[in-house]
Amino acid sequence: MKRTHFFSLSTFFLLLFLALGSVQPLSAQPQGPRPRCERGGGSRHGKAFDLKKFQTELSAHITKKAGLTNEEAERFFPLFFQMKAEQRSLMHKKEKAIRVAAKRPGITESECQKVIRQLNAIDEKFQKVEGTYSKRLIKIIGAKKYLKVLQADRSFGRDVFRRMTSGQHRRK
């Protein structure tokens, strides 16, 4: 019997964002200190994350799998990566809220419920960002190609995760 794995979209993004660390979109201008991954500080695996390389590989994968033309890709990806940056920021806020709450000794049940409400609000914002951007992205490439983009993005993320966990990036 073949085993299939199902990750919800938010679980997938959470895993991907955690794997990526603190990154900024290409269009973002640095404000303050650059994230460790851009300073060459390295990651847990001894190799610095290269956002430009990642986005280039992701763009190529999506362009091929979704059949985007060069013109569509030029219009699509800046907006797509802007959406991803906003979602990544929300996921960082969510992770920070969980981390802070988990470290608090003697946190009460009502305080935990408040944190969970905050997490739910962040999830709603995440979905709102996706909904807002998807409308704009569909205007650029159409719904049919957008569905192909979603599938290609998901398959790329699974491939990256698989490579990361297969030992290719582990210290020797």
pTM of the complete model: 0.68
Give 32-74 pLDDT, tens digit per residue: 444 544 444 445 555 788 889 999 999 999 999 999 999 999 9
Give the pLDDT confidence score for residue 76 in this predicted structure: 97
Would you give the distance in Å from CA 19 to the centre of its chain?
9
- Flag whether pLDDT at 23 surpasses 70: no
- Burial-class residue 33 by CB neighbours within 10 Å (0-12, 13-18, 19+): exposed
- Distance between first and last Cα of the chain: 35
Confidence tier at 144 by pLDDT (50, 70, 90):
very high
Cα–Cα dist 38/20, whole Å = 12
Give the CA angle between residues 133, 134, 139 to the nearest 5°: 100
pLDDT in tens, 59-118: 999 999 999 999 999 999 999 999 999 999 999 999 999 999 999 999 999 999 999 999
- Considering only residues 165 and 143, tell me which one the structure prediction assigns the higher pLDDT: 143
With 60 as the cut, is the pLDDT of residue 24 above it? no
Q: Write down the residue that tokens 């920070």 correspond to.
A: 96
Residue written as tokens 């709102």? Answer: 128
Average pLDDT score over residue span 26-35: 45
Select the more confidently predicted residue: 22 or 117.
117
Provide the sign of the torsion angle of the four alpha carbons 132, 81, 162, 42, taken in this order: negative
Query: Tell me, what's the pLDDT at 163?
Result: 87
DSSP string, 78-94: HHHHHHHHHHHHHHHHH
Report the C-alpha gap between 86 and 43 in whole angstroms.
22
